[in-house]
Amino acid sequence: MDLETAIRTRRTHKAFDAEPIDHATLLELFELARWAPNHHLTNPWRFRVLGPKTRAFLAGEAELDLRGSASKLQRAPTLIVASAKLDGDASEQRDDLLAAAIAAYIVLVGAHARGLAGYWRTVPLLDKPSVRAGLGVAADEQPIGLLHLGRPVQDQRVPARAAVAEIASFLD
């Protein structure tokens, strides 16, 4: 699948079969993510693939949190916490946070190009001190979301998008 097709046809999926994504494929996706642009070559992205015990821990924490929902954590057979390691001044930290977000998107597009499906969900639960500790998220890291990956069990509709004229302008 070429890049433009992958970008235009990737969709958010929330229904997957039960088979987890294999280790080798995940490593390929993380290898792709390493090529995200980052201003000072800081490589700020971090990915944690959650196994059964960690998923159970996170589900338990979600049940205790009024904003969380443990059932949403069970949608996909593979669940990844994406975060950004933040060093330097405020400007560098912003660069690194955005670079990690791009890396997370690369994982989603790379998965789609392999016939997989997924979605990215930002989760306030990941900021809870007990969750950060349980996931091994260091004090100098900022969680940016959960990546849900698996094999799709249904097609998704093509959503309406804003016209280019609505989102881009050319300034003199």
pLDDT digits (tens, 9 = 90+) for 29-68: 999 999 999 988 999 999 999 999 999 999 989 877 655 5
Determine, yes or no, domain membership for 162: no
Query: Which distant-in-sequence residues (6+ apart) come within 8 Å of 61 by Cβ?
Result: 68, 125, 128, 130, 131, 134
- Check: CB of residue 105 under 8 Å from CB of residue 46: no
Report how many domains make up the chain.
1
Determine, yes or no, domain membership for 168: no
- At 81 the pLDDT is 97
> 72 or 68, which is more confident?
72
pTM for this structure? 0.90
- At 93 the pLDDT is 95
d(CA 163, CA 130): 43
Determine, yes or no, domain membership for 160: no
d(CA 80, CA 149): 8
- At 148 the pLDDT is 95
Q: How far is CA 5 from CA 54, 80, 124, in A?
A: 35, 24, 32
CATH classification at residue 107: 3.40.109.10
Percent above pLDDT 90 for the chain: 70
Q: Which domain holds residue 48?
A: 3-154
pLDDT at residue 26 tops 60: yes
Determine, yes or no, domain membership for 13: yes
